[in-house]
């Protein structure tokens, strides 16, 4: 198997995970979790979303959480922004990288952002102008890129035309999101085979939800296509508050463990990460189906049976 030697993993639980939890997580608890995550060797984190507090009350303390991380220079923070108001809030508090939200289909866009895809793209112009004025980086994303819960399969031409539009806006980083966990490895291989060739100047990243247990297989398919940027969520926290039955991203500890087992370096301290995953699970009160939290890493050996004990 020909794989890249190094990848970067962006921790998204503080945004994608927390936003799916209805019970209020106190700001101090959020800050404690993001600081623990920053101590694992992870180099980037999607720390929050600057949405309207009424849309996602859980993230109404976005500014406070970002401010508490100002002394943490070793981890790059990015924030999701749905509009120019959110972008201004993020920039004001010192965020250096914005991630834009966009759906691949009109149905998902209407349910998520109450506008059509073309209008959402149009609405990005003032956000990008504001970011440029403040020397802040901007990345794009495409939700439900591999299939939409309302419209089913998304034609590849549609994804290509969105990426072209992003390029025309000066965006050269695009996160492809399997928001409802419908992608399969064959599809990921095919799509990325086309996109990587057609858009050689675009940096793609994968945002995979594990709704149907296919996220890790999809990550490996993406790796084989040379993708080196992945999102994941500690303890598999997350989901989408607008989509029934949606579950979290692939668990960070599962993704990092699998990559490291394959010799793909992540720069993350696996033992520390697993300890943090366990602590986060205890603090939040549940996990999103993390395998490592159940089974432990492959390197964890069990006590050998004595001669009296039956093997097997």
Residue 249 CB, shortest distance to Zn ion, in Å, is 6
Residue 105 CB, shortest distance to Zn ion, in Å, is 16
Contact flags string 16-35 toward Zn ion, x per CB under 5 A: x-------------------
Nearer to Zn ion, 16 or 270 (CB): 16
Binding to Zn ion, residues 113-152 (CB under 5 A):
none
Residue 286 CB, shortest distance to Zn ion, in Å, is 17
Task: Find, among 79, 83, 17, 21, the residue nearest to 46 by Cα.
Answer: 79
Q: Known catalytic residue: 240?
A: yes
11 binds Zn ion (CB under 5 A): no
Q: Which residue is nearest to Zn ion (CB)?
A: 16
Nearer to Zn ion, 16 or 253 (CB): 16
CA dihedral sign of residues 48, 20, 254, 272: positive
Segment contacting Zn ion by CB under 5 A, of 15-23, 27-35, 82-90, 297-305: 15-23
Residue 300 CB, shortest distance to Zn ion, in Å, is 29
* Long-range contact set of residues 263-266: C-beta below 8 Å, sequence gap at least 24: 263/3, 263/5, 264/3, 264/4, 264/5, 264/6, 264/7, 264/223, 265/5, 265/6, 265/7, 266/6, 266/7, 266/8, 266/9, 266/41
CA distances from 307 to 138, 304, 311 (A): 62, 9, 9
Cβ neighbours, 10 Å, residue 198 = 12
List residues with catalytic annotation.
240
Contact residues for Zn ion, defined by CB under 5 A? 16
């Amino acid at each position: 198997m020909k794989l890249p030697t190094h990848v970067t993993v962006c921790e998204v639980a503080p945004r994608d995970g927390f936003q799916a939890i209805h019970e209020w997580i106190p700001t101090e608890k959020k800050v404690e979790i993001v600081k623990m995550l920053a101590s694992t060797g992870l180099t980037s984190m999607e720390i929050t979303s600057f949405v309207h507090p009424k849309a996602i009350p859980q993230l109404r303390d976005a500014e406070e959480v970002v401010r508490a991380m100002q002394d943490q220079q070793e981890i790059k923070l990015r924030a999701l922004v749905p509009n120019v108001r959110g972008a201004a809030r993020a920039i004001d508090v010192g965020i250096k990288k914005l991630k834009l939200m966009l759906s691949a289909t009109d149905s998902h866009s209407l349910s998520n952002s109450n506008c059509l895809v073309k209008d959402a793209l149009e609405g990005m112009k003032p956000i990008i102008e504001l970011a440029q004025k403040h020397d802040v980086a901007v990345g794009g994303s495409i939700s439900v890129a591999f299939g939409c819960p309302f419209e089913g399969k998304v034609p590849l031409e549609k994804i290509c035309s969105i990426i072209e539009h992003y390029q025309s806006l000066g965006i050269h980083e695009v996160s492809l999101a399997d928001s409802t966990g419908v992608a399969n490895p064959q599809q990921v291989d095919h799509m990325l085979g086309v996109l990587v060739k057609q858009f050689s100047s675009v940096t793609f990243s994968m945002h995979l939800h594990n709704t149907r247990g296919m996220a890790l297989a999809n990550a490996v398919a993406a790796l084989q296509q040379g993708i080196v940027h992945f999102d994941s969520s500690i303890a598999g926290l997350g989901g989408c508050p607008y989509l029934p039955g949606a579950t979290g991203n692939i668990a960070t500890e599962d993704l990092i463990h699998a990559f490291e087992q394959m010799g793909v370096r992540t720069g993350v301290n696996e033992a520390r990460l697993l300890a943090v995953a366990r602590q986060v699970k205890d603090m939040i009160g549940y996990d999103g189906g993390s395998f490592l939290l159940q089974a432990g890493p492959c390197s964890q050996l069990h006590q050998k049976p004595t001669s009296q004990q039956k093997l097997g």
